[in-house]
Structure 1
Amino acid sequence: MSRSRTLRSRVLLPGAAALAVALLATGCSSDSSGKDSASHQADRSPVAAHPAAESSPAAGANDLQTAYQDTVKAVLPSVVQITTDSDLGSGVVYDDKGDIVTNAHVVGDAKSFQVSLATGGRPLDATLVAAYPAGDLAVIKLSSPPNGLRPATFADSAKVAVGQIVLAMGNPLGLSSSVTQGIVSATGRTVSEGATGGGTGATIPDMVQTSAAINPGNSGGALVDLGNEVVGIPTLAATDPQLGSGAAPGIGFAIPASTVKRIADQIIKDGKVTDSGRAALGITVRGVVDNGLQPAGAAIVKVTSGGAADKAGLRAGDVITRLGGTDITTAQSLTEALASYKPGDKVKVAYRRDGDSGSAEVTLGSL
């Protein structure tokens, strides 16, 4: 590489000398070293002729850096570390009464917690208000909320746009108050969590996909825009089977802010979720396979009395093979298909019963 650079310099020198000669010939001032003076003049000319070309990129970079720093300063004090007897994760201060929202898989089976504020000080005691595993959300409450708690501001999820710059704030791998950056890669994703490795096995609709790094310990923290608003709660990173089920770089998911607010408000007010906004058939199912041992549908194990499926005439032993326009091959695929519907929607369900095919129109209930 050094030889390449030397050759390049040798090519450029004659041109510089020619430029100097041309400037001298047109009346540029000179002293005892007129060539050097002319070269100096040539160096300054492009700057004088195009000041914006050199200043704009630097100014833009400084503006973006300042925006990052302002957002971190404004929001990071609202992000806490949550520690249980067996694990740790992150949470977001929801109000000044000491309510903190996090993931259900962060709290697990624990009922009491230690909470460390980003602003420092001794860990604070907290207890569980309620968890909602189906949506992987939970609320815990500080036993003695300190003065000066900084509740976060949550964004309107409908305004979150692909390409928007976001920062993920949390405690990945136990590194408290860490920040990573990326963009919103997609919205409206339906994602199924694994039931292993601490996950709840939940299927969550309308998730925000981001390129910001999401690592263990980020769960329950904040995905934040440059307007200092929380756009989502980071929950999991995608896994890549080719990497031995390791995290797929640049693919993480966050529960949208509007869902977080709806669920957290109900938990705080009623101690439980009273209206999930999620559709349900009112059944318990398991996967079945055909004679070739291929997935062949979702078999109904139990029907909730008075539920949507019961009212439509479905019964235990039926094998659901299609919901609306989606083929159903497993219990998981049924859950994922239901995630795109709302309570009250009418949907056609195809099924097998005692070797015969049938269908029913079901008015979906609430999860």
Structure 2
Amino acid sequence: METAGSRRPLRTPALLALAAALLAASAGCSSGSSSASSRSSTDAGSGTPAPAPSVSSDLQTQYENTVAGVLPSVVQITAGDSLGSGIVYDSKGDIVTNAHVVGSATSFQVTLADSSSTLAATLVYSYPTNDLAVIKLTSPPSGLKPAVFADSGKVAVGQIVLAMGNPLGLSSSVTQGIVSAVGRTVSEPRGEDSPGATIPNMVQTSAAINPGNSGGALVNLSNQVVGINTLAAGDSNESGGQAPGIGFAIPASTVTDLANQMIKDGKVVDSGRAALGITTRTLLADSSGSGSETGAGVVGVTSGGPAAKAGIQPGDVITKLGGTAITSSSQLSQVLATMQPGQKVPVGYVRGGSTRSTTVTLGTL
């Protein structure tokens, strides 16, 4: 995620019904201080400042150990005039990051956390559909420290996490928070180098994710990466500005699954995500009622794909998928992201003003 000007704009999606107040994480606890009512008159009038609350030495030590253990695996990536972060994936020099960090570039400069010199890297594969990419160091140095990735299924709401990366170009920075939610489906805004990916199962966090943090690590206190920092939520009441305390990370299990495919096959061969086999654009009915239906207008249909086999044609307008009314292309993507390949799903659509329905066996994105 990059700032405007010399860097790409920060990713900020529309909030997806995230009106619930987030839990607040405390970095420590107080001990040894008495209440104001129990202070003696001498203490109250002495002008001597009350002692600072002490921080749990155990928790502080865990923070310090995690930073020391994981930060060497987090790198800075420069792609043209863009700046972002990445995570050392293996000792061979493979580095995982966001697709929007690499953009359209194929060569990069990488700065390790313990060095000020840069290393050359080239693109292995970029997969904008899930906003993930892998790049590889041209001459990997000895002593690279690959990160350890967690089991995403064990990430729990309330878990303390640290976001590591290079926000605003401030290398090797760390912010802290908690896991605020899991299983979020989030749509990114369309950008210069991104079609606006819809990503399922994201980890929501209160740890600050700022421009330049994209592609960095969201880690637990067991020194494991639970996700890749990807975007901050947008506040619709603040003209698209960031919504403080709401950020999202691609879960570790998704990262490792897709990265392994990119490294082995040079591409993603099985995304595990459902698809209709169509391209769409949002259509809005006009106020007179004489215009097209509101929904996802079918622009193209993949020959022999799921939608084609079910009889859907270009010009149709999808208005319902499963039990959900569809009012836009992005909503169609969000609903599909919650489904599985091979699943049979009823699809409602309009053709020439006539409402129709069919059942589609979903394919793979």
| Pairwise TM-score range, normalised by the shorter structure | 0.7 to 0.9
Matched-pair contact (CA < 8 Å) for 1:287–1:295: no
Question: AA paired with 1:347?
Answer: V
**Where in structure 2 are the equivalents of 1:264-279 lying within 5 Å?**
264-279=259-274
Question: AA paired with 1:273?
Answer: V
**Where in structure 2 are the equivalents of 1:148-187 lying within 5 Å?**
148-187=143-182
Alignment-derived partner of residue 308 in structure 2: 310
Aligned length: 319
TM-score by length of 2: 0.84
Residue 220 (structure 1) aligned with residue 215 (structure 2): yes
Write the deviation string for residues 121-165 of structure 1: whole angstroms up to 9, x where unpaired. Answer: 410000000100000000000000000000000000000000000
Spell out structure 1 runs of 4+ moving beyond 3 A.
Answer: 11-15, 197-200
**Where in structure 2 are the equivalents of 1:72-87 lying within 5 Å?**
72-87=67-82
Question: AA paired with 2:239?
Answer: G
Once residues 152 and 200 of structure 1 are traced to their aligned partners in structure 2, the CA distance between those partners, rounded to angstroms, is 29
Once residues 250 and 294 of structure 1 are traced to their aligned partners in structure 2, the CA distance between those partners, rounded to angstroms, is 40
Once residues 91 and 205 of structure 2 are traced to their aligned partners in structure 1, the CA distance between those partners, rounded to angstroms, is 29
What secondary structure does 1:253 align onto?
strand
Question: AA paired with 2:256?
Answer: K
Alignment-derived partner of residue 69 in structure 1: 64
Q: Which runs of 5+ in 1 are unaligned?
A: 1-7, 16-56
Alignment-derived partner of residue 278 in structure 2: 283
Once residues 252 and 193 of structure 1 are traced to their aligned partners in structure 2, the CA distance between those partners, rounded to angstroms, is 12
Label 1:127 to 1:13 Cα distance change in 2 as closer, same or farther (>3 A): closer
Once residues 327 and 100 of structure 2 are traced to their aligned partners in structure 1, the CA distance between those partners, rounded to angstroms, is 27
Once residues 293 and 155 of structure 2 are traced to their aligned partners in structure 1, the CA distance between those partners, rounded to angstroms, is 37
Question: AA paired with 2:334?
Answer: E
Alignment-derived partner of residue 331 in structure 2: 333
Alignment-derived partner of residue 257 in structure 1: 252
Once residues 244 and 297 of structure 1 are traced to their aligned partners in structure 2, the CA distance between those partners, rounded to angstroms, is 25
Once residues 307 and 151 of structure 1 are traced to their aligned partners in structure 2, the CA distance between those partners, rounded to angstroms, is 39
Question: AA paired with 1:265?
Answer: N
Residue 346 (structure 1) aligned with residue 344 (structure 2): yes
Q: CA deviation at 1:291?
A: 2.5
Label 1:349 to 1:68 Cα distance change in 2 as closer, same or farther (>3 A): same
Once residues 211 and 160 of structure 2 are traced to their aligned partners in structure 1, the CA distance between those partners, rounded to angstroms, is 22
Q: CA deviation at 1:200?
A: 4.2
Alignment-derived partner of residue 126 in structure 2: 131
Q: CA deviation at 1:96?
A: 0.2
Write the deviation string for residues 43-66 of structure 1: whole angstroms up to 9, x where unpaired. Answer: xxxxxxxxxxxxxx95x7111000
Q: CA deviation at 1:261?
A: 0.4
Q: CA deviation at 1:199?
A: 4.7
Once residues 222 and 332 of structure 2 are traced to their aligned partners in structure 1, the CA distance between those partners, rounded to angstroms, is 38
Larger Rg computed on CA atoms = 1
Residue 209 (structure 1) aligned with residue 194 (structure 2): no
Alignment-derived partner of residue 29 in structure 2: none
Label 1:61 to 1:268 Cα distance change in 2 as closer, same or farther (>3 A): same
Bigger CA drift: 192-201 or 165-174?
192-201
What secondary structure does 1:220 align onto?
coil
Once residues 325 and 256 of structure 1 are traced to their aligned partners in structure 2, the CA distance between those partners, rounded to angstroms, is 27
Once residues 167 and 248 of structure 1 are traced to their aligned partners in structure 2, the CA distance between those partners, rounded to angstroms, is 18
Alignment-derived partner of residue 20 in structure 1: none
Q: CA deviation at 1:13?
A: 4.6
More helix, by proportion: 1
Matched-pair contact (CA < 8 Å) for 1:90–1:220: yes
Label 1:166 to 1:295 Cα distance change in 2 as closer, same or farther (>3 A): farther
Q: CA deviation at 1:294?
A: 9.4
- Equivalent position to 1:243, from 232, 238, 245: 238
Q: CA deviation at 1:354?
A: 1.3
Question: AA paired with 2:337?
Answer: A
Bigger CA drift: 123-132 or 189-198?
189-198
- The percentage of aligned residue pairs carrying the same residue is 66
What secondary structure does 1:284 align onto?
strand
Alignment-derived partner of residue 320 in structure 2: 322
What secondary structure does 1:274 align onto?
coil
Matched-pair contact (CA < 8 Å) for 2:120–2:138: yes
Matched-pair contact (CA < 8 Å) for 1:295–1:330: no
Once residues 162 and 285 of structure 1 are traced to their aligned partners in structure 2, the CA distance between those partners, rounded to angstroms, is 35
Q: Which runs of 5+ in 2 are unaligned?
A: 1-35, 44-52
Question: AA paired with 1:306?
Answer: G
Residue 358 (structure 1) aligned with residue 356 (structure 2): yes
Bigger CA drift: 171-180 or 327-336?
327-336
Once residues 122 and 13 of structure 1 are traced to their aligned partners in structure 2, the CA distance between those partners, rounded to angstroms, is 60
What secondary structure does 1:169 align onto?
strand
Once residues 357 and 245 of structure 1 are traced to their aligned partners in structure 2, the CA distance between those partners, rounded to angstroms, is 36
